[in-house]
Amino acid sequence: MKEKQIELIVQKVMEQLQAKFPSENRVDPVDKGLIFTERDWETSIPKPAFQEGAADLTASTPARIGVWRTGTRPLTKTMLKLQFDHAAAIDAVGGEVLENYLQEFELFTVETCYENKEVYLKRPDKGRVLTDAAVQTIKERCQHRPQAQIVVSDGLSASAVETNLKDVYPALLDSLKLSNLTCGTPFFVKGGRVACMDHIGEILEPEVLVLLIGERPGLVSASSMSAYMCYRPRKGIVESDRNVISNIHPLGTPPVEAGAHIGTVLQKMLEQKTSGVKLEL
Amino acid sequence: MKSSITLLNKTYQFRDLKDILAKANEEKSGDQLAGIAANDAQERLAARHLLSELTLSDIRNNPVLPPEEDEVSRLIEESINEKIYQSIANWTVSELRETLLSDNTTNIEISRIRRGLTSEMAAAAAKIMSNLDLIQAASKIEVVTQCNYPIGHKGTLAGRAQPNHPTDSIQGIKASLYEALSYGIGDAVIGINPVIDTAESVKQILQMTREEIDRFQIPTQNCVLAHVTTQMRAIKNGAPSDLLFQSLTGTEAGNKAFGISIDLLNEANELIQKEGTSHGPNLWYFETGQGSELSSDAHHDIDQVTLESRCYGLAKKYKPFIVNTVVGFIGPEYLYNSKQVIRAGLEDHFMGKLQGIPMGVDVCYTNHMKADQNDMENLAILLGSAGVNFLIGVPMADDCMLNYQSTSFHDIASVRSVLGLRPAPYFEKWLEKLGIFENGRLTERAGDPTIFI
């Protein structure tokens, strides 16, 4: 969650509170509301036995330590921060990528057989197969047998697409251009699992395919994306035939770098005519 | 064996015991994914009714996976005490349930009954028990085990310190370990899940934890949860390991997918007896969890509760110090929501305890499950009431390496406080000596990891 978003949320809540409790004592009319940044959630041990050591401990790990307590329970801020991070993950799983965001990249949308979010989570097999309508659409709209095919999917995190695509995608296109690779007609798959690559491979028969897909959200980042790549994807491909660049988000593998790197990997696949564990990178 | 039942003029027909066992389960997304779940709520109840009337000999005589085809089945079959089995073979599953819950049945009687039970019988009992049944029956059973120090006594609740770090930084692991100890957590084990599965890295982490245990004279044991073959290499290279760890499944094929077999476990067992750093007698740490067989297509159309029970049948052979089910780690396609996770946690704990396993539970969830921290707090309290041997302690419940949420140091301290449970006896004395525990409660000094720097 970025600071701006947090500010917006806090502001909204404060506005609602003001509407609900229009008491002058409660809210300063010139106060803009509470502003929380990462630092404001930090709590500390009031009287540590070794003051200088406390900072060393917390600096050595991203784990939530040195948070202190009230009785046996965590302090309010620590608890709310954990819930806040989890909320971002929940929203990422349940969210949908906005259609007009995809239009910016000229991506049209097709669906897998996932039906709805609940079935998507319970039945990974359904997210690996495109609907008949989707097959029809991509047959009609996509270039057949391209050198490189780009596919984008929400997967387990819609916000991964919304956060990273604007940086990954142009960098990827540039990198393909630099390598003189021709690119097929890109599109978006709603409700996709990684192995939907195989079905798409059957239909369009690209030389190489890259799937940019939202990862299972963690608490560190709810907006992490993976790029799965495969040489001549077909049904029956096994996990070890694919290459992956994971953890693509602003605080992980930087999206622009990832985009450029994907281009390099795809080019090597074309040169070596293989992918996965057999590919020499 | 009867395979159909008529309830109020409606007849339900089942294929075989495997079908009855699967359909008798509470709703689980994993059984649905496997295509073996009941079609509706009434069929589920019909299966449960029928199961309750089957005898223990019906279950033994109709193996869900024949011993000729599977080494886990063979092991379970061979471990039965025939005399005790004969004395209970004519019991129905219903009678088994009622015996376990009867006031006249104590830990001693259950210890005897256990010798005549197969894992499938334990699973059958769990299927016809309500959540509170599972708690009540399990709470009678005491399984005390000892590695360096004993845990599992009635009235105690231990915690595993799980100070994982995303890059295995020794300093980072130490920092989370100090935090755990300062909340009174770490009596079950100091156990780290490594990122890097190499003998050298495992050895380094084991050495560090050994040094910390020696430096502060902590009455506990150490373990690094790498693949068993990696730990074996580390131990052969001189790594000081008190316990061996391995994840188990309930079928030979599932274990093969995990890269293990009974032969390999036997070899590892010999090694830890000879070259481990603890006197024991209990030198193993196993982890299990419903759904792992299906995830490697090694389930043979058997339901995930029965398969989980078979893990405990396998574990028993090695007289483990601790076993825990990582109940919500595997994801929503196996346990969809908090209701299913809570049920699975109680089932696993009961089935393990009934088979004499020193059960702990990793009360946990992933972010794409319909569950949150409140649900975990609920389950932790339920398991505390059921007498669970230990829970998992992670800083603020957020494991920054495995990317899932479990229970926190605060949570374990709270369950102890609310239910009047104590840390393991030697560990409690140690905490008192350190001044962070007094009269069964944390003192002012607790929660300050800097006291260990």
Q: What's the pLDDT tens digit per position in B392-419?
A: 999 999 999 898 999 999 999 999 999 9
Specify the pLDDT at position A37. 86
- Mean pLDDT, residues A241-250 taken together: 92
B124's tokens: 């059958």
Amino acid at the residue B105: T
- pLDDT above 80: residue A18: no
Give tens-digit pLDDT for B308-326. Answer: 999 999 999 999 999 999 9
- pLDDT above 70: residue A5: no
Average pLDDT, chain B: 97
Specify the pLDDT at position A14. 62
Specify the pLDDT at position B142. 98
Binding residues of B: 160-162, 193-194, 246, 287, 295, 362, 401
Q: Which residues of chain B make contact with A64, given a CB cutoff of 8 A?
A: 395-396, 398, 400
- Chain A CB within 8 Å of residue B367 CB: yes
How far apart CA B242 and CA B282 sit, in angstroms, is: 10
- pLDDT above 80: residue A16: no
One domain, residues A232 and A131 = yes
Instruction: Identify the weakest region by mean pLDDT among A225-239, B139-153, B203-217, B421-435.
Output: A225-239
Give tens-digit pLDDT for A73-100. Answer: 999 999 999 999 999 999 999 999 999 9
One domain, residues A178 and A269 = yes
| CA B315 vs CA A43, A76, B138, B226, B388: distances in Å | 42, 41, 18, 18, 17
Chain A to chain B Cβ contacts (< 8 Å): 136
Q: Which residues of chain A make contact with B162, given a CB cutoff of 8 A?
A: none
Does the beta-carbon distance from B410 to A58 stay under 8 Å? no
- Mean pLDDT, residues B44-71 taken together: 98
- Chain B CB within 8 Å of residue A180 CB: no
Specify the pLDDT at position A28. 57
Closest to B219 measured CA to CA, from B408, B450, B424: B424
One domain, residues B126 and B173 = no
Cβ–Cβ < 8 Å for B315, B357? yes
Specify the pLDDT at position A31. 72
Cα atoms found within 13 Å of the Cα of residue B100, Cβ hemisphere only: 33
B89's tokens: 């073979």
Please tell me the total count of domains within chain B.
2
One domain, residues B111 and B181 = no
Among candidates B367, B417, B449 on the partner chain, residue whose Cβ is nearest the Cβ of A93 = B367
One domain, residues A209 and A138 = yes
- Mean pLDDT, residues B155-171 taken together: 96
Among candidates A49, A63, A64 on the partner chain, residue whose Cβ is nearest the Cβ of B448 = A49
Which of A94, A117, A147 is the endpoint of a domain? A94
| CA A135 vs CA A51, A109, A113, A119, B143: distances in Å | 64, 12, 11, 20, 58
Specify the pLDDT at position A221. 85
Residue of chain B whose Cα is closest to the Cα of A50: B450
Q: Which residues of chain A make contact with B417, given a CB cutoff of 8 A?
A: 71-72
- Chain B CB within 8 Å of residue A63 CB: yes
Q: What is the span of the domain harbouring residue B185?
A: 145-452
Q: Is-cis flag, bond preceding B166, omega within 30?
A: no
- pLDDT above 80: residue A61: yes
Write down the ipTM of this complex: 0.95
| Residue A236 banded pLDDT, cuts 50, 70, 90 | confident
Does the beta-carbon distance from A60 to B368 stay under 8 Å? no
Specify the pLDDT at position A38. 83
Which of B79, B105, B139 is the endpoint of a domain? B139
One domain, residues A147 and A242 = yes
- pLDDT above 90: residue A43: no
Q: Can you give the CATH number for the domain in which B419 is found?
A: 3.20.20.70
- Mean pLDDT, residues B74-99 taken together: 98
Q: Which residues of chain B make contact with A62, given a CB cutoff of 8 A?
A: 166, 400
Specify the pLDDT at position A20. 58
- Chain A CB within 8 Å of residue B333 CB: yes
- Mean pLDDT, residues B330-359 taken together: 97
How far is the alpha carbon of B332 from chain A, nearest alpha carbon, in Å? 6
One domain, residues A110 and A63 = no
Burial class, B345, CB count within 10 angstroms (exposed 0-12 / middle 13-18 / buried 19+): buried
- Which residues 258-277 on chain B approach chain A with CB closer than 8 angstroms? none
How far apart CA A133 and CA A111 sit, in angstroms, is: 8
Specify the pairing of strand B441-442 against strand B437-438.
antiparallel
Mutate to test the interface with A, among B369, B392, B403 (most CBs of A within 10 A): B403
DSSP state at residue B32: H
How far apart CA B24 and CA B20 sit, in angstroms, is: 6
One domain, residues B49 and B197 = no
How far apart CA A53 and CA A68 sit, in angstroms, is: 15
- Which residues 115-134 on chain A approach chain B with CB closer than 8 angstroms? 121-125
- Mean pLDDT, residues B218-244 taken together: 97
| Residue A281 banded pLDDT, cuts 50, 70, 90 | confident
One domain, residues A271 and A201 = yes
Burial class, B160, CB count within 10 angstroms (exposed 0-12 / middle 13-18 / buried 19+): buried
Cβ–Cβ < 8 Å for B249, B214? no
